[in-house]
Amino acid sequence: MKVNVHAVNFTVDKKLVDFVQERMDKLEKYYDKVVSVDVFLKVEKTSDKENKIAEIKINVPGDDFVV
């Protein structure tokens, strides 16, 4: 399974990429037909502490899931 990490409005470091990769690898335990995963990490430019968003697009044969 290929994992693509995309960062929006910030620079992602290797530690975060490794963490995302580790978590996405666990998907194969539940469904082994995952082709690829696109992870979009975003930081919104607001003064709120809750300004971080993670969107995950899971590509499987015949369909895509977005979480």
**pLDDT surpasses 90 at 18:** yes
CA–CA dist 30, 40 (Å, integer)? 22
Looking at residues 56-67, what average pLDDT do you find? 91
| Amino acid (1-letter code) at residue 28 | E
- Write down the number of H helices and E strands in the chain: 2, 4
**pLDDT surpasses 90 at 59:** yes
**pLDDT surpasses 90 at 51:** no
Q: Which domains does the chain have, with CATH numbers?
A: 2-66 (3.30.160.100)
